[in-house]
Amino acid sequence: MSNRQFVLACLTPLFIFSLAFLALPLVRLFLASGEGENGWAIYLDILRKPRYLNTLWMTVLVSISVTFTALAISTTAGMFLSRNRFRGRGVLLSIMTLPLAFPGVVIGFLIILLGGRQGLINQITPGHVVFAYSVIGLFLGYLYFSIPRVLLTVMAAAEKLDPPLEEAARTLGASPYRVVIDVILPGLMPSLIAAGAIAFATAMGAFGTAFTLATNIDVLPMVIYTEFTLSANIAMASALSIVLGIVTWALLLIARSLSGTTVAAGG
Amino acid sequence: MLQLIVTLSACAFLFVPTILSVMAGVTANYFQGISSGLTLKWVFRVWELYADSIFLSLWLAIACLFCTLLIGLPAAYGLARHPGWLSRILEEFISLPLAVPGLALALALLQLYGSMKGFRASWTFILVGHVLYTLPFMVRSILAVLAAIDLKTLEEGAATLGASPWQRFRDIVVPNAMPGILAGALTVVTLSIGEFNLTWMLHTPYLKTLPVGLADSYASMRLEVASAYTLVFFVLIVPLLMAMQWASARAQRIAQ
């Protein structure tokens, strides 16, 4: 066997697998989205029918607020952890990165333990404080899996910042606040955009968390799920999946072109 | 100072619920609190109810590892030896499951293969989903390590000494790719055990994986049982996760 043939033979299993279980199913999904009563106009229906449009807005709104909150928290914590060496730093770092591989269902349950009917907050505060099943619970759940993802990206970027640049700014009389605004943040910016895109895409597609919280908040993955299982509206479920898939894929493409990393989607 | 407060609050937010879950799993009656005594009876109850799901998940993870190695190792070698636009597109394409939500992939698989009853109802259907989701991690992990070494020169040297393509693959590529294979393998196993989004759509009532069982217990069991089950999951996943982070950092150092 020649060298070239051997290399091609090496790629064959991958080619066959991704053709059979990725390419063809995605084509089928796309075709199925046009097989409803309205044909391809189904993509217009998403924008015309309030139920779907509201869902879209709700999903984007929750995802944006989670993204910015996670960016604020993780950038602050990430800069702190990469600039300071102290006892217990490793422990803090482990605590903040281990949730990376927790499935969304588990995170949903953790939020219930925090803010559910038998939750910690309800027990230690007077009165009836239950927020796990509302939009706040959803927000906290998404925040839970976004913090570690953003933190890792920010810390990798913080290691590459140039400390003499900050010293120069200080010698020239810049206040700590100005140093952050004019030196540190611009240096981190590509990574922050990348991390933000990752957090946003993950929040958009998160299913497990919303599923466990069983909220009546309509987010896109939950609507896809109910359209498919309860309403048997397969065309709409497929169309929404296609829209969701294109959005998250495009966002992660942006993220990768800016920072060269991708952290697993999921949740 | 503000930085420290933010860092500690974020840690508390991530850590406190985990501790609550562990505590609830070993407390006799969570509603009365820890004063009701510590017990392992909920853990045993989980074992009675859900041992099958734990074994199915372990079995799936091993089968998934086997498949991703079988497909991913030669593929990473092929992509490393042929770095062109075609390889870029292929790599980009198989990475789609990283970006496209599992729910969408599951719907796609269900619509194409759902009518093949024998396949649909067997554990191999779930396996396909897991391989689809974890394969890009394996390929990229190995590819990153292979891209960092001068594969071409090494192989040419071996070829002039009369080594066949297969011998070169076995004696040069595989040993050199080992750190990437290890990191990829740990990632695949960890992700497979924790996968929910795809599995929830693909599973049948007779085939419940660990995370599917977790969702089931959250919806229908008392809080102590659900917590004990989560505890079992943590005991399984956290060491794997730490090993995965260690192996990935090591592979990354080698790749640079």
pLDDT of A157? 87
Whether residue B44 is contained in a domain is answered as no
Domain membership flag for residue A29: yes
Asked if A169 and A72 sit in the same domain, the reply is yes
pLDDT at site A264: 43
A267 located within any domain: no
CATH number of the domain that residue B161 is part of: 1.10.3720.10
A265 is a domain residue:
no
List the domain range (segments joined by +) for residue B243. Answer: 50-255
Q: What is the CATH number of the domain that holds A207?
A: 1.10.3720.10
Q: In this structure, are A1 and A52 located in the same domain?
A: no
Residue B8 has pLDDT above 50, yes or no: yes
**Do B17 and A265 make contact, defined as CB atoms within 8 angstroms?**
no
- Does residue B4 share a domain with residue B93? no
Q: Are residues B35 and B60 in the same domain?
A: no
For residues A17 and A63, state if they share a domain: no
Q: Can you give the pLDDT at residue B150?
A: 85
In a domain, A264, yes or no: no
Residues A94 and A173 in one domain: yes
CA–CA distance, A213 with B17 (Å, rounded to integer): 15
B161 plus B232 within the same structural domain:
yes
Given CB atoms, is B97 within the 8 Å cutoff of chain A? yes
The distance of B178 to chain A (nearest Cα, Å) reads 18
**A187 interfacial to chain B (CB closer than 8 Å):** no
State mean pLDDT over B233-237.
Answer: 93
SS3 call for B208 = coil
Residues B27 and B151 in one domain: no
The verdict on A29 and A44 lying in the same domain is no
Claim to verify: residue A233 and residue A141 sit in the same structural domain: yes
The rounded radius of gyration (Å) of the Cα atoms in chain B is 22
Instruction: Assess if residue B166 is contained within a domain.
Output: yes
Q: Looking at the structure, do residues B81 and B3 belong to the same domain, yes or no?
A: no
Domain count, chain B: 2
Q: Is residue B248 part of a domain?
A: yes
Same domain membership, residue B132 and residue B35: no
- Partner-chain residue, chosen from A22, A106, A221, that has the shortest CB–CB distance to B101: A221
Residue A96 to residue A94: CA distance in whole angstroms: 5
Summarize the confidence of residues A189-198 as an average pLDDT: 89
Residue A210: CA atoms inside 13 Å, Cβ hemisphere, count? Answer: 26
CA angle A220-A24-A34, nearest 5°? Answer: 50
A262 to chain B: closest CA residue: B98
Name A252's Cβ contacts closer than 8 Å, sequence gap at least 6: A197, A198, A201, A262, A265, B98, B99
Residues 6+ apart with CB under 8 A from A100: A145, A148, A149, A152, A263, A264, B241
Contacts of B106 in chain A (CB under 8 A): none
Q: Is residue B45 part of a domain?
A: no
Residue pair A213/A226 in contact by the 8 Å Cβ criterion: no
Same domain, B58 and B20: no
The range of the structural domain enclosing residue A53 comes to: 40-259
With an 8 Å Cβ cutoff, is A104 touching chain B? yes
Are B73 and B157 within one domain?
Answer: yes
Residues 9-68 of B with CB under 8 A from A: 10-11, 13-18, 20-21, 24, 30-31
Percentage of residues in chain B having pLDDT higher than 90: 58
Amino acid letter, A240: L
Nearest to B99 among A29, A214, A265 (CB): A265
* Same domain for B87 and B168: yes
**B201 pLDDT higher than 70:** yes
A86 and A130 share one domain:
yes
pLDDT tens per residue, range B101-127: 999 999 999 999 988 988 998 999 999
Using an 8 Å CB-CB cutoff, list chain B residues near A140: 13
Q: Are residues B30 and B74 in the same domain?
A: no
Could you tell me what percent of chain A has a pLDDT over 90? 42
Does the model's ipTM exceed the 0.95 cut? no
- Residue A128 identity (one-letter amino acid): H
**B82 shares a domain with B156:** yes
CB proximity B214 to A under 8 Å: yes
Same domain? For A2 and A72 the reply is no
Which among B112, B98, B115, B179 is positioned nearest to B145, based on CA atoms?
A: B179
3-class secondary structure, B111 = helix
> Is residue B17 one of the residues assigned to a domain?
yes
In a domain, A175, yes or no: yes
Count of domains for chain A: 2
Residue A128 lies in a domain: yes
Q: How high is the pLDDT of residue A261?
A: 53
The whole-model pTM stands at 0.90
Do B174 and B67 fall within a single domain? yes
Tell me whether residue B89 is in a domain: yes
- Residue range A65-79: average pLDDT? 94
